[in-house]
Amino acid sequence: MGFATDCIHAGQEPDPTTGAVTMPIYQTSTYVQEGLGKHKGYEYARTQNPTRRALEKNLAALEGGSDAYCYASGMAATNAVLTLVKAGQRVVVSDNVYGGTHRLFTKVLAHYGVEFAFLEASDAGAFDAAAGRFDLLWIETPTNPLRRVCDIAALSAVARKRNALLVVDNTFMSPALQRPLALGADIVVHSTTKFLNGHSDSVGGVAVVKDPAHAQWLQFYQNAAGAILSPFDSWLVLRGTKTLALRMRQHEENGKRVAEYLRGQAKIRKVYWPGFTDHPGYVVQRRQASGFGSMISFDLGSREAAARLLETVRLCSLGESLGGIETLISHPATMTHAGYTQEERDALGIGDGLVRISVGCEDVEDLIADLARGLEKV
């Protein structure tokens, strides 16, 4: 089946009891059993829930995985995947990943004897030479917020050489634009809060796997630790993925128009978007993805200038998060990347003048007019 067909139908058979075309919200904590050990495959809702399972099957199909497990947030999914790593092992992470991922790794999981190293990964050869031994490689591509492109296939070869796993946080692209498992990744993680749900009304996460042994562990851990996605949130994300293919086409079109507009503005020092033909990752992005995404960062030079724009725009809502149908605009240094120290942000190039925009599906002329109003105040 094609991608849009899978978005609408994968994992979603009409309800066997009533024929309801939409997967019902199974809002129950437990299930009646016919006798000891005799039940319909559902015992307790932390362990199994039909709405959650339908979403998991849907997302596994969209990412081309063998299975998927949904958690209470993107961070809970990230944490679940990191339980595949044991004390004494080493994890290498592409730098400028989401600040919450950096915080979880360095301030929580490092306490359990796992070593973390953050490395520039947009040049796979240089990365290979510098990375040393590792057991798991965690990347985002294009990176957040500087939109550097990592070559998934090349990094999967680098990981394979070390017998290590490659995990890709695909939140920014969604499977509509990029399918890392087909390029050699072992596991894909998403904050479903973003493009997959798409309507800014649910927090959730998913890990999609290829290997049945990983599926078995992540299911076991989901039940053991209990950070499950609720039935209602599962239903919301299922409703969101039905329109994923449609939404992503509009995000892509609007993203391109906004990036080109921003690049033409004298007050903007630099625009970060991998769809510019002179972007260093352009060729790799074209090869490994079917689009460039609608996440754009741009540098206004100072915190004051960024604040003036952010406090003037109206249609672009100032807020954390991304991937909603509505345009969101944010200030990485004080919002998404506040978990990094000032020195770490300086080293990465995440300056105080940097603004990130998640371009939504509004009429693009309205978005450009709003940004123009904001730029007048800078």
Ligand X SMILES: Cc1ncc(COP(=O)(O)O)c(C=O)c1O
Residues with a catalytic annotation lie at 46, 98, 169, 194
Binding pattern for the stretch 131-150 against ligand X, x by CB under 6 A and - elsewhere: ---------x---x------
The DSSP bridge pattern shows strands 90-94 and 115-119 to be: parallel
Binding residue count for ligand X, defined by CB under 6 A: 15
Q: Match 């927090």 to its residue by tokens.
A: 203
- Taking the CB of residue 34, how many other CB atoms lie within 10 A of it? 8
Q: Match 């929580």 to its residue by tokens.
A: 108
- Segment contacting ligand X (CB under 6 A): 67-75, 112-120, 263-271, 276-284? 67-75
Cβ at position 70, least distance to ligand X in Å? 11
Binding pattern for the stretch 74-103 against ligand X, x by CB under 6 A and - elsewhere: xx----------------------x-xx--
Which CB, 301 or 319, lies closer to ligand X? Answer: 319
Structure tokens at 45: 């809702």
Cβ at position 36, least distance to ligand X in Å? 39
Kindly give the interhelix angle for 231-242 and 50-63, rounded to the nearest 10 degrees.
Answer: 40
Within residues 140-199, the interface with ligand X by CB under 6 A covers: 140, 144, 169, 171-172, 191, 193
Binding pattern for the stretch 264-303 against ligand X, x by CB under 6 A and - elsewhere: ----------------------------------------
The DSSP bridge pattern shows strands 165-169 and 115-119 to be: unpaired
Q: How far apart are CA 139 and CA 257, in angstroms?
A: 27
Q: How far apart are CA 48 and CA 222, in angstroms?
A: 10
- DSSP state, residue 104: I
Distance set, CA 4 to CA 143, 215, 249, 286 (Å): 26, 25, 11, 21
Which CB, 173 or 375, lies closer to ligand X? Answer: 173
Cβ at position 80, least distance to ligand X in Å? 12
Q: What is the binding site for ligand X (CB under 6 A)?
A: 73-75, 98, 100-101, 140, 144, 169, 171-172, 191, 193, 203, 205
